[in-house]
Structure 1
Amino acid sequence: MTISRQREPNIRATVVAVLIASFLLPFAVTGPAIVLPALTADLDASASGTQWVQNAYNAVFAATVLAMGSLADRFGRRRVLRAGIATFAVAMALIAISSNIVLIDVLRGIQGLAAGATVSAGSAVLAHATSGHQRVRVFGLLGASFGGGTAMGPLIAGLLAPLGWRYVFVAIALAAAVAFFVSRYVRESRDPATARPDLAGMALFGGALFLLSLGFVNSGDAGWLDPWTLGYFAATLLLLALFIVLELRIDHPMFQIRLFKRPAFIAMMCMPFSVTFGLAALNVYLPIFLQSDGASPLAAAVELTPLEVPVLLVPLAARWLTGRWSERFLLITSPILIAAGSFGLVLMDRGASPWVSLMPLLVLGIGVGVAFAIMDNAAISTVPVAQAGAAAGMFNTMRITGESLAVAATAAVLISVTSARTSAAEATAAIQGQHIGPMTGAAFADALYIVVIGLGVLALVGALLTAWALRNTKPNQTKTPGATS
């Protein structure tokens, strides 16, 4: 008889632990974005150093989430979940006491690794512990948790900002410690048949994301046609090609590229990319733009509330949404709403009152909220529960890759467009959230509008792709299991 020290499993405690941890992962992006100008000024950081506070977290997160899903299935989902939460908390605490921007960037990369472990293992834990209506409800809560972290991050950070930027990181570390304590009640589960982690694939994919981020950062400093910028982008394509060849040749790839022969699978994997790209870009750089225009961190956070509140609340209605409409309809409608909100922001009069800007942001937020309500469970439901960790890894890789590229690419576009009308120094000041003059402010605003147009086009393309991919799917084939008609 084997004696185990593991605590008695508790489904409620399991859900609470995973939801708290999941809340913190996007919070670690949107919260620091509010205090990034203060951090930059306090540490006298360069523009590239500031960008890597976000890029390092997102790039490593995206690069490792696949491998962490396989590790969770192989060595234990509870074990990987708790290790991820603990590492996340420690890295955040160390950032709070650090005074070196390079060290902070490195710690953010470590935190991205921990986030990859947490999200993959957490999704797999919930999939293993629930089924039917309960799973629909729990994954709706999971979507609300991700949305809540995204939505509440700016507001909570804005409230803590007067105390200093370090308090934002302290708050996240303390919340992660609570999640770690509660996670002791999680039931252990694994899939012994899972193949060894595809370390070579992880290295190639991670290297490609890192080089792509370098290319975007360098393009802001030296231009898009600079030899180093072009070299980084060329190396990215080379590593991605090698990654695809490797994944097609090995028996147990971490990214099962052959699944992309199925149109419905394409739609499921591409949707989080088009959804999170816009949300991440606006959550990180709209507060910086507002602060460069003279707003306080709290005021900038408050102006984001029309966008954030639907992201928090709509996923709570997941069961009602999937019971009333098919997932096919919701998957197509969500990016259409995002595109409508984006184009609405562009067409809005810049001198209009905040109440006028409320509607486009609200529509955009509802679109993102609908996606958050359905896409996690829909992705997990495409595979047997035993491979839930791998499925969660593929799905979340697309979501976090979208965020990573959004943060890096948006910064590059903002700096390039702004510096074309002002100077490199003024463009750098704008992207760091420093107070800028009217001419630079107008250039920065134009740059942001170009970004928003791009986000709308991307969402519209995503809607068309989804409609095409699901064109032969009957409505009842894309309803969430357990939903009522």
Structure 2
Amino acid sequence: MAVRASVAAVLIASFLLPFAVTGPAIVLPDLAADLEASAAGTQWVQNAYNAVFAATVLAMGSLADRFGRRLVLRSGIATFALAMALIAVSSNVVLIDVLRGVQGLAAGATVSAGSAVLAHATSGTRRVRVFGLLGASFGGGTAAGPLIAGVLAPSGWRSIFIVIAIGAAAAFLASRYVQESRDPSTARPDLPGMALFGGALFLLSLGFVSSGEAGWLDPWTLAFFAATVPLLAGFVAVELRSAHPMFDIRLFRGAAFTAMMCLPFSVTFGLAALNVFLPVFLQSGGATPLGAALELTPLEVPVLLVPLAARRLTARWSARGLLVAGPVLIAAGSFGLIVMDRGSSPWASAAPLLVVGAGVGLAFAVMDNAAISAVPVEKAGAAAGMFNTMRITGESLAVAATAAVLITRTAAHTSTAQAVAAVQGRLVPETTGHAFADELHVVVVALGILALAGALLTAWALRTRVPPGPDGRAGHPSPSHAAGRTASTSSAHQPQGEVS
């Protein structure tokens, strides 16, 4: 009973974390119009959650190991639910932005502690099944968010936040059965690393938001971007000197690991941008929130279903082949989205979206395993935390950067005020709508180019094969293989495993 309840609590919470991004994206135009929010205020409804989430995943994992996974998990879920409930009754967009930041902190605690709870509560084949369900929960939350939000939209934008709060409350009740666990040997939290990384990500997001309204050459925009550089440099210096770094920079010496850390940007960047801004684009052409959500179905369904076939896929093809094929499909689908236009038939974009979704699903099926396989076995935990941080960082920057580019490029054809209205999905003059559509075409082409670059980097970095793992499949180095390689190399140049 306790194990099942623990699994249920983590799976429900894991479903809600991406749901809290893709669901509100559908009702964001209604929220902006109802609260008469500025472009910056509206963007931070998404950016605050994403940026804080990305900045705190590794830190929350350290706190969970040190002070107790059950404590951190339940605190995260409770804070997530409370913040969502307060958003549902708030009438001030600044307060909503602050609460979304609090929610991002809670999400970081939930995902870090939740994974550790599952690892502690399960073993053997049950653990394999449970972590497969965990991946499906994340994919399901991403896919279901737009559809559920579209159904709820006629009841008002607040309804989606209420439903998420209720779901989080259910997860909190189930989490009462979670057994406490901790790692007494865990080092003290890397507070300087946390502060520097979080500050750099926040200022980078702030720079993108400022550029949308004030322009890329505005002094404040330039100051925000410039201030990011010393913070990132300081973060690297601190992590290299630390005996127990939060983010082990030394692992980037391996080409395979570096490619795996870059791959989330070419995969999740496009998914996040399309999930947030395609509903806005479709609604600006006259689609209802539910209609916009239904038009996104070809994108979302493969993201959910393809990872469920991961075992069969990896039995037929190498991890390298799947990791390259995913971004290639994303690129092909992105280029195909050029056919979209405001008010055009949903069938015009169905095939390209299906191809993009299949590419994302392929990558999701093998990315996590590949990231862990690219390092010695004793570094697997660090690799997993770093990979999740990069994945969430990619999503955060995708939302902020895409909004900034769309606003500034659309404003070149109309005005900043009209460009902001278009990006927020409000009713706009026909000329503004066409300008926004043209610039969205530029964005999807850029996403395709980014995906192709990811495919080429991955193909080059993973060109060396390793022997099959104990399960007989390539791409999963055996502990003995990794350990043997490590023993023959000095600690200053720790080898990485390689993904086939």
Q: TM-score range by the shorter chain?
A: over 0.9
Q: CA deviation at 1:357?
A: 1.7
Counterpart of 1:296 (choices 277, 288, 296) is: 288
2:475 pairs with one of 469, 475, 479: 479
Q: Distance in 2 between matches of 1:131 and 1:19?
A: 17
Mapped contact 1:136–1:318 kept (Cα < 8 A): no
Contact 1:136–1:377, Cα closer than 8 Å, also in 2: no
Match of 1:338 among 321, 325, 330: 330
Contact 1:127–1:388 (Cα < 8 Å) also in 2: no
> Counterpart in 2 of 1:329?
321
Mapped contact 2:373–2:475 kept (Cα < 8 A): no
- RCO comparison, higher one (Cα < 8 Å, 6+): 1
Residues 168-201 of structure 1: per-residue CA shift (max 9 Å, x gap): 0000011011111112233333222111111111
Q: Residue 9 of structure 1: which of 2, 22, 34 is its match?
A: 2
Structure 1 counterpart of 2:94, one-letter code: V
Amino acid at match of 1:123: S
Matched, 1:183 2:175: yes
**For residue 460 of structure 1, what is the aligned residue in structure 2?**
452
- Normalised to the residue count of structure 1, the TM-score between the two structures is 0.93
Aligned residue for 2:395? 403
| Structure 2 residue 222 is matched with structure 1 residue 230 | yes
- What does residue 53 of structure 1 align with? 45
Partner residue, 1:451: 443
Instruction: Give the Cα–Cα distance (whole angstroms) in 2 for the partners of residues 265 and 339 of structure 1.
Output: 22
- 1:354-380, Cα deviation, whole Å (9 max, x unpaired): 223211100100111122223334445
- Which residue of structure 1 aligns with residue 246 of structure 2? 254
- Contact 1:65/1:120 (<8 A) preserved: yes
* 8 Å Cα contact 2:39/2:424 also seen in 1: yes
Range moving further from structure 2, 289-298 or 300-309: 289-298
Aligned pairs for 1:175-324 (under 5 A) are 175-324=167-316
Distance 2:42 2:340 in 1: 31
Distance 1:174 1:378, change over 3 A: farther
Amino acid at match of 2:396: S
- Looking at structure 1, the residues matched to 185 and 376 of structure 2 have their Cα atoms a distance apart, in angstroms, of 13
Give the whole-Å Cα distance in 1 for the aligned partners of 2:371 and 2:117: 15
Q: Residue 480 and residue 276 in structure 1: after superposition, are their counterparts in 2 closer, same or farther (change >3 A)? A: same
Partner of 1:140: 132
1:339-378 alignment runs, 5 A limit: 339-346=331-338, 353-378=345-370
Cα distance in structure 2, aligned partners of 1:369 and 1:241: 34
Structure-2 change in CA distance of 1:287 and 1:89 (3 Å)? same
For the residues of structure 2 that align with 1:191 and 1:405, how far apart are their CA atoms?
A: 33
The alpha-carbon distance between structure 1 residues 380 and 187, as it changes in their structure 2 partners (threshold 3 A), is farther
What is the rounded CA distance, in whole Å, between the counterparts of 1:127 and 1:469 in structure 2? Answer: 30
| Paired amino acid for 1:394 | M
Contact 1:220 1:415 survives alignment (8 Å): yes
- Residue equivalent to 2:29: 37
TM-superposed deviation, 1:328:
2.1
Question: Would you say 1:117 and 2:113 are equivalent positions?
Answer: no
Distance 1:350 1:471, change over 3 A: farther
Q: Which runs of 5+ in 2 are unaligned?
A: 479-500
From 157, 168, 185, the counterpart of 1:165: 157
Change (3 A) 1:369 1:355: same
Instruction: Map Cα deviations across residues 134-173 of structure 1 (whole Å, 9 max, x no partner).
Output: 4443332222111111111011001111111111000001
Q: Give the residue type in structure 1 aligned to 2:393.
A: T
Consecutive unaligned residues of structure 1, counting only runs of 5 or more, are: 1-7
Identify the range of structure 1 (174-183 vs 124-133) with the bigger mean alpha-carbon deviation: 124-133
